[in-house]
Amino acid sequence: MSSEHTPAAAAAATTADTARAGVDFIRARILQDNASGRFGGKVHTRFPPEPNGYLHLGHAKSICLNFGVAKEFHGQCNLRFDDTNPTKEDTEYVDAIREDVRWLGGDWQDREFYASDYFERLYQYAEQLIQMGKAYVDDLSAEEIRRYRGTLTEPGRESPWRNRSVEENLDLFRRMRAGEFPDGAHVLRAKIDMASPNLVMRDPTLYRIRHAAHHRTGNTWCIYPMYDYTHCLSDSMEGITHSLCTLEFVNNRELYDWVLNALGVYHPQQIEFARLNLTYTVLSKRKLIQLVKEGHVSGWDDPRMPTLSGLRRRGVPPEALRQFCARIGLARADSTVDYAMLEFCIRERLNACAKRVMAVLDPIKVVIENYPEGQVEELDMPFHPEDPTYGSRKTPFARELYIERDDFRLEPPKKYHRLSPGAEVRLRYAYLLTCREAVLNDDGSVRELRCVYDPQSRGGQSPDGRKVKGTIHWVAADSAVPAEVRLYSQLFATEHPDEAPEGKTFLDNLNPQSLQVTQGLLEPAAAALQDGEAVQFERLGYFCKDKDSTNARPVFNRTATLRDTWAKLERKG
């Protein structure tokens, strides 16, 4: 066979073609493996969270990648809970992870697995390593093991217990399982190379003693396998082809390969990609736990949190997160993505799918002096101006209305096209309105506006063709529904919250204005929305009805602001 027709040559050609076509390096590797016949052309991935916390934006990238790759290549993706640390894991997290993965679009069908499913097989593999002389029971403490490991510039030292006989190691390991020893008395370590330039390979720990109840196996076990040992064998047992993980596991790949090669079992391919870092955000699980436990946020689903449950409660559509993950792509080097990219994807999706309704968050009363007292009209308004399939709603219009305080100026500056004394504006889907007089409070603030409307301008069009530049939103006073509106912004005030001056922590970078609560007034259609339903309050932003809502008083969370041209002009002065 000529060299150009070998599987290796075909794989190399495929890789070169995909690189030119702009395919990312992970998909290029999968195409190469498929072209070479490796794994029989199958693609089988997995998403393997540890159930010790709630999923966040970083996990979203992994979910989209693992489930997305499997779908693209007509393969499968497992959901596996890496539950090897009983002191930190809980069924609460298992349930939350399931919900989050499903919400984001992950479908594992009947392939839900747990590392704890494999505890017996993992134990048998460990005994096999002992019998092969590739693992030993060590009596050193955790601190002593760290000291003996050495540094990047100095080789490690062998444990005094490294050369125990196979018989003694098996006896001790079985007694560890039987519960004869307290926590920390012994560990099982792989016997590799204490002089390896890769510190991970300097006789890593495979098992430790931990007398703690497990959320699934109860008190059956008092020894638990370490993540690096468990992970590769779980991948092997499930028939995973491509084990996709973040860059911090690059050095661990050598151990991944060593365990599988030592045991002579099926060998998946580990591939690493850069984890997600986002401005104005922390994604460290330890820090997120601290935020929750110390009460800096209301819980894991606080809408300011970068958790998937928090983003869902805030009203972020899963399609926006999937689009965000697609836009930022995959890389081999860590970098930081601007939070504005996420907001762009959120706005883009919500602009397409969110219903439009009207709400006034800082009201000024308007009295239309020439509108008949006691009369109420019902104006037909579309839920979406660009998509008639969303239908319409009837909105009451009457003599007394409320408008936003920001939509009126006693002394309007240049280019201000909203309401002011003598100025005319268009009331959204209603009439043209002219301000005749502003009634002031003793402190000079505006209490009420006296206005007149053009009865011939229903729908907002002037019968004589005069041009009216400004359009503002409103609600009718008698039918307005009071609501609590929670205005969320970024949880941290600095772009890189982890960068704190000496003596300070990331907590000192919290944004004191990240939540502001106001009492607004809504048109009736807004109050009738379902919990969790996304909506645009016209001209104000995108909002979501919160689960705290009651029939008497709805609650809305701000998902994202709209671009406000006038606010930008005012800031520029």
Q: Take residue 254 and report the two structure tokens written for it.
A: 């050598």
Residue 180 is assigned to a ligand binding site: no
- 427 has which bridge partners? 472
Residue 88 is assigned to a ligand binding site: no
User: Token match 């809980």: residue?
Assistant: 90
Number of helices (H), then strands (E), belonging to the chain: the values are 15, 27
CA dihedral for 253, 254, 257, 263, sign (positive or negative): negative
Q: Which of 71, 88, 275, 409 is catalytic?
A: 275
d(CA 36, CA 370): 81
Of 263, 256, 264, 223, the closest CA to residue 128 belongs to: 263
Contact 557, 551 (CB under 8 A): no
Residue 51 is assigned to a ligand binding site: yes
Residue 50 is assigned to a ligand binding site: yes
- The residues near 126 (Cβ < 8 Å, ≥ 6 apart) are 135, 173, 188, 206, 207, 225, 229
User: Token match 């082809």: residue?
Assistant: 241
SS (H, E, C) 21-87: HCCCHHHHHHHHHHHHCHHHHCCEEEECCCCCCCCEHHHHHHHHHHHHHHHHCCCEEEEEECCCCCC
285 is catalytic: yes
Residue 57 is assigned to a ligand binding site: yes
Q: Which of 42, 50, 112, 210 is catalytic?
A: 50
Residue 496 is assigned to a ligand binding site: no
50 is catalytic: yes
- The residues near 154 (Cβ < 8 Å, ≥ 6 apart) are none
d(CA 224, CA 222): 7
Burial 144-171 (b: 16+ CB within 10 A, else e): ebeebbbeeeeebeebebeebeeeebbe
Q: Which of 157, 285, 428, 539 is catalytic?
A: 285
Residue 56 is assigned to a ligand binding site: yes
Contact 399, 368 (CB under 8 A): yes
Q: What is the DSSP string of 238-303?
A: HT-SEEEEEGGGTTTHHHHHHHHHHHT----EEEEEPPPEETT----HHHHHHHHHTTSSSSTT-T
SS (H, E, C) 451-476: EEECHHHCCCCCCCCCCCCCEECCEE
CA dihedral for 90, 92, 95, 99, sign (positive or negative): negative
Residue 84 is assigned to a ligand binding site: no
Residue 473 is assigned to a ligand binding site: no
Residue at 221: amino acid letter: W
Longest dimension (CA), the chain: 102
Helix (H, G, I), strand (E, B) or coil at 444: coil
- The residues near 53 (Cβ < 8 Å, ≥ 6 apart) are 93, 285, 288, 289, 300
Residue 62 is assigned to a ligand binding site: yes
d(CA 245, CA 232): 12
First to last CA, the chain: 75
Contact 170, 131 (CB under 8 A): yes
Residue 283 is assigned to a ligand binding site: yes
Residue 60 is assigned to a ligand binding site: yes
Residue 196 is assigned to a ligand binding site: no
Known binding-site residue numbers for L-glutamine: 82, 227
For the annotated binding site, the residues are: 50-52, 56-62, 82, 227, 246, 275-276, 283-285
Residues marked as catalytic: 50, 275, 285
Annotated binding site for ATP: 50-52, 56-62, 246, 275-276, 283-285
